[in-house]
Amino acid sequence: MWFKRDLRIYDNRPLQQAIASGHAVIPLFVIEPDFWQLKTSARRHWVFVRDSLIELREALAHLGQPLIIRNGSIKDVLKILGQTYHIAGLYAHEETSHSWSYARDEGVRDYCAKHLIAFYETPANGIARRFHNRDKWAAMRRKRMAEPRISVPKAGALMASGQALSDLDSGVMPGRGDALFGPPLVDGDATQKGGRRAAMGLLKSFLTDRGASYVTHLASPSKAPQSCLRLSPHLVWGTVSSREVEQTIRNYKNTVATPLSRGKIRSLNAVLSRLSWRCHFMQKLEDQPEIEFESMHQLYDDLRANEWDEARFTAWATGQTGYPLIDACMRALTQTGWLPFRMRAMLVSFASYHLWLDWRRTAPHLARLFTDFEAGIHYSQFQMQSGVTGINTIRIYNPVKQSYEHDKNGVFIRHYCPELAKVSDQWLHEPHLMPPLQALAQGFEIGRDYPLPIVENEAAMRLAKDRIFAVRKHPSFGPLAAQIYQKLGSRKKVGKRPKAGADKQLKLL
Ligand SMILES: Cc1cc2nc3c(=O)[nH]c(=O)nc-3n(C[C@H](O)[C@H](O)[C@H](O)COP(=O)(O)OP(=O)(O)OC[C@H]3O[C@@H](n4cnc5c(N)ncnc54)[C@H](O)[C@@H]3O)c2cc1C
């Protein structure tokens, strides 16, 4: 059993199938150095995975065989194991992730075929391998998510005829700071706790307590960390299956003894929608893996390609743009590994519109910072927030407006940009506008204590809008957008196609 992004023993079909084969089961996790060297991988991800592996190892020990950890390429690991054991079959989930993992899995398929190992791959919940029929996708997902969950295997289930493979070395678990996984992002950077116990704790506290304010706090950078579900990295690494999360929420909603408030029902429904978006976005990458590298709409592909500005990128990546909410968000993300959706979208919108940076070169930076980096969601969202899909409304986030709306009293900004702590509420969101005498009285000097805005807000938004809409005037823009919709577009409103001209919409947020 090859564990990849399914670090659990509950609701794990490949594990069930491996056990059902009647052979002794070797539960294997491979630390693949090539993966950890990718420009989207970071030590933060390893810290989360490591917590999860430690618990998985313990859980598997109860089944008769602790987790076996090996370091190297999966093919080499199979080769070495094959020198001692006859490998009858390899069981794993299908993985929908970046091109590296597709290529790796292709290689494993070839290897298995050559060495007469049957390779059994099971779909992961709501995502179907190269499904290519968006009209039928939602029904497929609903069916999958409603299927009964698979129980935890019985104690000793991994042993053949009651015998564990006693001569099998279980392998060393590298430390959190092992050099393979690179340096910390910043001193003292934190990572959300991994492992199934933490996942179960989050699910429970969300249902009984935290989730009540989910919808109202969703966009608040200071309140959302507490009120959101926070299961995203757990879903990425599979300490819990998305089916389990979805069914648990539905069951709670339908069976809880005390009647739920309207607000709570709204919150639970909102989370259920997002769990479905998760699969929807991952299915896009599954159906069109090129979106990791190419803009969905080809007329946008070269839009920003030749205008890279390293100084702008560095200011954005280090939280030094002169826009307090942008800088606070980037620094919070670097330290904690998480931001709510709106703040993520705003960071990308600022990089892509205000700074006119190519999404392909900004996406890896945030991938390394997000504990929950999930290629399918990440690249789809990056493209949406950069306006290059051709099928979504163009959304440009005004960082000053967002700042007034979502951090009115500056709690979040002051926490992550302490150099602004002494600036009064009146000027906190636009410190460069503070009259010099007032700045002097507050002991603050723009340009010395905090940068001037890297670009002028209104002018940058206007220019970006004009450049995006100039592309949309091209005669082949519409027909190409219709093809993209057919292949990847959401069928949320069944039967409805986007209204004529919908591709020309703009929202300034
Ligand atoms: C530019 C950008 C990049 C993003 N990259 C990632 C990523 O790499 N990995 C990732 O998991 N999410 C990503 N998201 C989506 C979203 O911001 C996070 O899923 C969410 O903030 C995670 O926190 P949570 O678990 O508390 O989610 P909640 O808001 O409580 O939602 C519950 C679950 O639904 C899913 N979900 C929520 N929002 C979305 C969404 N918009 N699209 C798809 N699925 C969603 C997640 O699995 C999440 O755990 C990205 C959003 C943007 C704008």
HEC assignment per residue over 192-225: CCCCHHHHHHHHHHHHHCHHHHHHHHCCCCCCHH
CA of 281, closest atom in ligand 1: 43
**Cα torsion 324, 326, 328, 331: sign:** negative
Q: Are 303 and 477 a contacting pair, CB within 8 Å?
A: no
- In the chain, residues under CATH classification 1.10.579.10 are 298-508
Which atom of ligand 1 lies closest to the CA of 218? 29
Which ligand 1 atom lies nearest to the CA of residue 347? Answer: 1
Distance from Cα 232 to the centre of ligand 1, integer Å:
6
90 — phi, psi (to 5°)? -120, 130
CA distance 429 to 399: 9
Residue 500 alpha carbon to ligand 1 centre in Å: 30
Among 114, 115, 120, 125, CA closest to 85: 115
The region, left, alpha or beta by phi > 0 then psi within -120 to 50, assigned to residue 130 is left
pTM of model > 0.85: yes
DSSP-derived secondary structure letter, 179: G
Residue 393 near residue 305, CB atoms below 8 Å: no
Query: Reduced to 3 states, what is the DSSP secondary structure of residue 383?
Result: helix
Please tell me the distance from the alpha carbon of residue 312 to that of residue 275, in angstroms, as a whole number.
Answer: 34
In the chain, the largest separation of any two C-alpha atoms, in whole Å, equals 83
End-to-end CA distance of the chain: 47
- Cβ of 363 below 6 Å from ligand 1: no
Give the distance (Å) from ligand 1 centre to CA of residue 64: 36
> How many CA atoms are closer than 13 Å to the CA of 197, on its beta-carbon side?
8
The answer to whether 48 and 139 have CB atoms below 8 angstroms apart is no
For ligand 1, whether the C-beta of 224 sits within 6 Å is no
The one-character DSSP state at 371 is: T
In the chain, which residues have pLDDT < 50?
Answer: 494-495, 500
Among candidates 296, 308, 40, 286, which has minimal Cα distance to 141?
A: 286
Cβ-proximal residues to 493 (8 Å cutoff; 6+ apart), any chain: none
| Residue whose structure tokens are 């592909």 | 301
At residue 232's C-alpha, the angle toward residues 230 and 235, to 5°, is 130
Gap between the Cα atoms of 245 and 123, Å rounded: 17
Q: What is the DSSP letter of 474?
A: S
Provide the 3-class DSSP secondary structure of residue 29: strand
- Tell me which H or E stretch contains 338: none
The best mutation among 271, 329, 333, 377 to test binding of ligand 1, ranked by most ligand atoms within 8 Å of the C-beta, falls on: 377
Two structure tokens written together for 266: 């709204």
Give backbone dihedrals phi and psi of 417, rounded to 5 degrees, phi first: -120, 75
- What's the pLDDT score for residue 137? 86
Which tokens is 60 given? 């598997």
What does the alpha-carbon distance between residue 509 and residue 506 come to, in Å, rounded to a whole number?
A: 10
Counting beta carbons within 10 angstroms of the beta carbon of residue 179, is it exposed (0 to 12), middle (13 to 18) or buried (19 or more)?
A: exposed
Give residues with Cβ within 8 angstroms of 215, minimum separation 6: 263, 266, 267, 270
The whole-angstrom separation of Cα 27 and Cα 104 is: 19
In the chain, ranges of CATH 3.40.50.620 domains: 1-122
d(CA 139, CA 134): 10
The CA distance from 366 to 360, in Å, is: 11
Judge whether 429 and 399 are in contact, CB under 8 Å: no
Q: In this structure, are residues 505 and 469 in contact, taking their beta carbons and an 8 Å threshold?
A: no
Residue 447: per-residue pLDDT: 96
* CB of 395 shorter than 6 A to ligand 1: no
- Residue whose CA is at the smallest distance from ligand 1 atom 18: 341
Residues whose CB falls within 8 Å of the CB of residue 385, separated by 6 or more in sequence, listed in order = 344, 345, 348, 349, 352, 395
d(C-alpha 348, C-alpha 386), whole Å: 7
Cβ of 286 closer than 6 Å to ligand 1, yes or no, is: no
Is the domain spanning 298-508 CATH 1.10.579.10? The answer is: yes
Decide: helix, strand or coil at residue 119: strand
Residue 472 has a pLDDT of: 87
Superfamily designation of domain 1-122 = HUPs (3.40.50.620)
Long-range contact pairs involving 20-23 (C-beta distance under 8 Å, separation at least 24): 21/88, 21/89, 21/91, 22/160, 23/88, 23/89, 23/160
Residue 336 Cβ contacting ligand 1 at under 6 Å: no
Question: pLDDT value at position 153?
Answer: 96
HSE-CB at 259 with a 13 A cutoff on CA atoms is: 2
Question: Any idea how long the chain is?
Answer: 509
The protein residue whose alpha carbon is closest to atom 48 in ligand 1 is 232
What b/e readout covers 277-301, taking b as 16+ CB neighbours within 10 angstroms? bbbbbbbbbbbbbebbebbbbebbe
